[in-house]
Structure formats: C-alpha cells, structure tokens
Amino acid sequence: MSDAAEGSKSDSAETPDMDDDVEHENALQDVIAVDANDEKQGTANRLDAHTGDGIRHRAFTALLFDEEGRILLAQRAHDKRLWDTHWDGTVASHPVEGQSQEEATRQRLEEELGITPDQYDDLQKTDRFEYKRYYENAGVEWEVCTVLQATLTDTSLDRDPEEVGGLLWVSYEDLQENPKFYRQLRLCPWFEIAMRRESEADGE
C-alpha cells in the first residue's frame, strides 16, 4: 500500500529556512498524526508536519467526475507553499480532529469550488496509500492519503481564487493513458499516485 519509498530526499536538497514561516497560516492549524495503518497517534502542528523530514499525517484527495467521465482538475494557487501552480485532483486537504474524511471533503468542496452536497450523491472512499515527497527546498508531504470519488449531477462551480488558480475538465481515460500529456500539466504527486494505482488495479 505504501508509495513512501519513492520519496527519497535528494542529496542536494536543503533544509528550508523557516524564520519567515512562523506567521504562516498553517502554523495555527493542526493535522492528525498517524501510523502506517492510518491509526491516530496524536496531533501535530500543520507547519511542522510539512517541514524538514515531516510528520506522517492523515490526508485525502477527492476526484470528481461529470456524467461523461471527465475529471475536474484544480490548479493550486500560485502562493501555495508546496506544489504551487501544479494541477491537482478536484480537492485535497487534511481532516481535523473529530472530522471524518467525508465531512472534510464536503467542506473543502464547498469552500474551494462552491460545490454543495446536493450536486452529488455518491461520495465514497476508493483507495488509501502512504507516500512521501519533498518539494524543492520548501517542505515535504508525508501522508496516509484516502482517495474519495463522486460524480457531479450539477457541474456549477464557484472557485475561490485564493485556493484555486484554474479549473480544467479532461477525459480521465485519456489522462491515465497518456503520461506525456499529464507530465506537461505538472501534476501533484498524490494525485498522480492515486491515478496510477487506479489504472494498475483496473488492469489486473
């Protein structure tokens, strides 16, 4: 289940200087620290969890489709600390303590894209994996990531430009089958792993 081995740190990577990050909004938030089985081990400061070698924590990525099988991709805003301007699945984030993955997904869909629960009715968990990736010298993601999927019956959107730089509907099948195309998009690693794992499972 783990993709963590792929996240080895480059010898040339430097530890980021965090002197300016004490004011970062993430310094005021916590994530849920977990073991490899996604069992809670406590909470961790969100900024600390993404700094240095990181702290393994619970996360999710949600993939939303239209009724034609196209997936909605969201571009991360340019001022994101990690993977800025990269293309992600529809939403990705972290549940807070006491919040389920489904609750966190619904919250982020509404906050980032204006998508309300009455626009879909089949939100379900489809996968879970662990991975670790470093981003330049800015930080790290070390997550046990749950994948959720749903189909939109109403594709009305109202994106938050502070969170989402752009939106793109693409054929999910074409995206899976054309690595050259999706590499040009600069995908977030967690989304690329989720997509690859689903493609491999379908091929078994």
What is the C-alpha to C-alpha distance for residues 121 and 104, in angstroms, rounded to an integer?
16
pLDDT score at 13: 33
| Domain that residue 158 falls in | 2-202
Phi then psi for 188, rounded to 5 degrees?
-65, 140
CATH number at residue 77: 3.90.79.10
Strand partners, 151: 65
The pLDDT profile of the chain, 204 residues, written as one tens digit per residue, is: 656 544 434 333 333 333 334 444 555 789 999 999 999 999 999 999 999 999 999 999 999 999 999 999 999 988 888 888 899 999 999 999 999 999 999 999 999 999 999 999 899 999 999 999 999 877 999 999 999 999 999 999 999 999 999 999 999 998 888 877 777 888 999 999 999 999 888 765
Number of domains into which the chain is organized: 1
What is the C-alpha to C-alpha distance for residues 70 and 11, in angstroms, rounded to an integer?
39
Q: Which amino acid is at 121?
A: D
The pTM of this model reads 0.84
Which sequence positions are flagged as catalytic? 143
pLDDT score at 16: 35
Q: What region does 135 belong to: left with phi over 0, alpha with psi -120 to 50, or beta?
A: beta
Instruction: Tell me whether residue 162 is exposed, middle or buried, using C-beta atoms within 10 angstroms of its C-beta: 0 to 12, 13 to 18, 19 or more.
Output: exposed
pLDDT score at 28: 74
pLDDT score at 11: 33
Residue 82: both structure tokens together: 């990690």
What is the C-alpha to C-alpha distance for residues 167 and 187, in angstroms, rounded to an integer?
13
Residue 86: both structure tokens together: 């990269």
What is the C-alpha to C-alpha distance for residues 155 and 83, in angstroms, rounded to an integer?
26
